[in-house]
Amino acid sequence: MRLKISNRRIARSTAGDVAILIFLGLGAVYMALPMFYAICQAFKPLNELFIFPPQFLPRHPTMSNFSDLFLLMAQSWVPVSRYLFNSLFIVGAGSAGNVILGSLCAYALAKHDFKGRNLINNLILFSLMFAGSVLVIPRYLIISYLGWINTYTALVVPAWGATLGVFLMRNFITHMVHDSLLEAARIDGASEWYIHWRIVMPIVKPAWLTLIILNFQQLWGDQGGMFIYSEELKPLPYALNQIIGGGVGRAGVAAAVSVLLMAVPITVFVINQAKIVQTMGTSGITGE
């Protein structure tokens, strides 16, 4: 894949450049201002949150919202470290399973020839065409039938079956792993299992980093909802929402909470940005 910038030769009208810059600028403002405002709110002392007219920037930036938050969290009945562990465990186990099961399936779909391969490919593509939210009721029934209600399993295992990641990974393996490499390994007597873990997986590292960020997008904000009712198994966003629920006096703490919540997935994305973009490059759908 080439990542160099194209140096084009076509004349570009200045008017067009200006119009595009203005449009891009407006877009950037629309996208960035709310995020920036959220961060500003977190550093305002409580009295600045309720002044008229409202100020955008904090006049006397303070860390007190964060220290109040930690104080509140320290008083909670279930220690916050437990909520944090729950969230990390759910995202971690969900991503790990999705990467392991998904990559095995994606490798076979990309590089093996067997009956039913097309059927599976079409099923996966088909599943991208409707939202999981139409299946919440039967999923809930299945999970409760399996006796998984109020366990991590209820959130973790369904994530393993997420098809977007497998779809991306299959395309990525098709494009990025050369058949000659696999042939050479087979001639040397390597098993498919060995080839998958030692040859394919290192090459498609960008793809599994992408799967991890997609799982973050799905699972990080999850509050457990219908699936988890024990306090000590609830994920962090639930606990933080409980703190916010404490009324107007908690407005500053609430702002600190949302900054903390958004910091985690954004950090994960920033670290892996280049690789994720590379993966999405192979996501195209070839018409039949």
Partner 1 sequence: MKALWLELKEKRVSYLFVAPFLLVFALFVVVPIAVAIGLSFTYFNMIEPPRWVGWSNYLALFLEDDVFLIAVKNTLLFAVITGPLSYALCFVFAWLINELKPRIRAVLTLLFYAPSISANAFMIWTVLFSGDAYGYINGILLYWGIIDKPVQWLVDPRWMMPIVIVVVLWMSLGVSFLTFIAGLQGIDSIYYEAGAIDGVRNRWQELWYITLPMMKHHLMFGAIISITNSFAAADQLQALTGTAPTDWATWTIVQHINDYGYVRYEMGYASAMAVLLFITMLLVQRLVQRLLRRIG
Residues 3-32 that bind partner 1 (CB under 8 A): 3-13, 16, 20, 23-24, 27-28, 30-32
> Which of the stretches 60-68, 78-86, 123-131, 181-189 binds partner 1 when contact is defined by CB under 8 A?
123-131
Q: How far is CA 229 from CA 78, 153, 163, 232, in A?
A: 13, 13, 28, 9
Among candidates 264, 210, 224, 193, which has minimal Cα distance to 98?
210
3 CB-contact burial (10 Å; exposed 0-12 / middle 13-18 / buried 19+)? exposed
Task: Report in angstroms how near the CB of residue 52 gets to partner 1 at its nearest.
Answer: 5
> In the numeric block, which tokens belong to residue 213?
């960020």
Taking the complex as a whole, how short is the minimal distance between the CB of residue 178 and partner 1, in angstroms? 18
Site string (66-105) toward partner 1, x via CB under 8 A: -----------------------------------xx-xx
Q: Is 212 an interacting residue with respect to partner 1 (CB under 8 A)? A: no
Nearer Cβ to partner 1, position 31 or 71? 31
Query: Stretches 65-73, 74-82, 156-164, 181-189: which one binds partner 1 (CB under 8 A)?
Result: 156-164
List Cβ neighbours of 102 (8 Å cut-off, separation of 6 or more): 160, 162, 165, 166, 169, 211
Q: Which of 170, 169, 167 is nearest to 275 (CA)?
A: 169
CB of 41 to partner 1, least distance (A): 7
Dihedrals phi, psi of 77, to nearest 5 degrees:
-65, -45
Beta carbon of residue 27, minimum distance to partner 1 (angstroms, whole number): 6
Token pair, residue 130, equals 């409707």
60 lies in the binding site for partner 1 (CB under 8 A): no
Q: Select from 90, 213, 243, 256 the one that contacts partner 1 (CB under 8 A).
A: 213
Residue 161 interacts with partner 1 (CB under 8 A): yes or no: yes
The region of 60-68, 77-85, 180-188, 265-273 touching partner 1 under the rule CB under 8 A is: 265-273
Structure tokens at 271: 């670290």
Of 154, 153, 173, the C-alpha closest to 104 is 173
3-state DSSP call for residue 177?
Answer: coil
User: Segment contacting partner 1 (CB under 8 A): 63-71, 72-80, 116-124, 178-186?
Assistant: 116-124
Size of the site for partner 1 (CB under 8 A): 106
Q: Which residues are CB-neighbours of 89 under 8 A, at least 6 positions away?
A: 152
Cα separation, 232 vs 228, in Å, equals 10
Exactly one of 75, 77, 134, 188 binds partner 1 (CB under 8 A); which one?
Answer: 134
Distance CA 147, CA 139 (A): 12
In whole angstroms, the minimum distance from the beta carbon of 75 to partner 1 comes to 22
Footprint (CB under 8 A) of partner 1, residues 235-254: 237, 241
137 belongs to the binding site for partner 1 (CB under 8 A): yes
The answer to whether residue 184 forms part of the interface with partner 1 (CB under 8 A) is no
Contact (CB, 8 A) for 281 and 211: no
Alpha-carbon distance of 192 to 185, in angstroms, equals: 9
Out of 153, 221, 231, 242, the only residue in the binding site for partner 1 (CB under 8 A) is: 221
